[in-house]
Structure 1
Amino acid sequence: MKYFQCCNQIQLFLNKSTVPLGTAKRLQEDMARTDVHIVSNPEFLSEGNAIRDFLEPSRIVIGSNSREHSERVAKLYSKLDAPILMSSWESAELIKHTANAFLAMKLTFVNEIATLCEMTGADIKDVTDGIGYDPRIGSDYMNAGPGWGGSFFPKR
């Protein structure tokens, strides 16, 4: 953590990346300095919409071992109109992984339904439109295609 050698006051290190579960806790335990604190603050950006997703987030997740540190980070987002969820490191990391897994599962499910449509003569667009109106399901991530990928899901 050579980046913190110049600091003379309490510093917060915000981790925006998708990391293995337990990373924030391990980083904090490995930190030789007690004036540097790890905060998990995962991004929820979709490919092709990063700027919009950053400026208009669906939620802001802040994971820390200290309410004080979470509240300091929350102030950074005070001008944004989004729910702020404060949690433990572990919960914040798992929220990110769970969101990614759920979206991958939804895409995989739609692809399976597309196969069923091909076998039965049903129209995948009609089916996904029909179920997408259900607010519990929603219409996002309903485009069947050759698997799923992009720059995010495969590595996570």
Structure 2
Amino acid sequence: MSFDRAGHKGVVVLSNTNRPVQAIGTRLLGLTADAGHPAPDATRTALTVLCSAGAAGPVLYVARRRFPKRIHWAHLGISTVFGLALLILVRRTGDWLSVPPIAWALGIAGLSAGLSAGLVLGIRRGPSPDNDRDQRAGEGAVLPAARYAGALLLLLLLVIAAEL
């Protein structure tokens, strides 16, 4: 709640967050914010922007690389789950008072574009002429997929730790 005694105007800002909204009311009145309000945390703002944009990174990486077919599908699925988890996390904990929500929408668009490219490229890759070699590569796909999932899980845990 903010009140301008000189202009006889007041503003009440309702919010569904636990963050202070006094600065929003002050800006709506056209007044400068009090020095008593904390400035936006630069680390939290940077994490919000980087996580929104970075959610599409692994999916785009997998779509661009030429993995054997089974490895491609495993990596694409893992990357999609990672991107969705990152976007859900940043939506709930991000600094949306400083970062415009269009950043999150761009993250969704990038993830969708990468997933579409990965699906199209994965389907367009027909069976390999050497099916025996492709079968051996598919059997050995578990370890690289597990390493990839572990790396993305570690990255997600680092982001969670930084957000808390």
Relative contact order higher in (CA < 8 Å, ≥ 6 apart):
2
Question: In proportion to residue count, which structure has more helix?
Answer: 2
Fold-level match, TM-score > 0.5? no
TM-score, length of structure 2 as denominator length: 0.28
Question: In proportion to residue count, which structure has more strand?
Answer: 1
TM-score, length of structure 1 as denominator length: 0.29
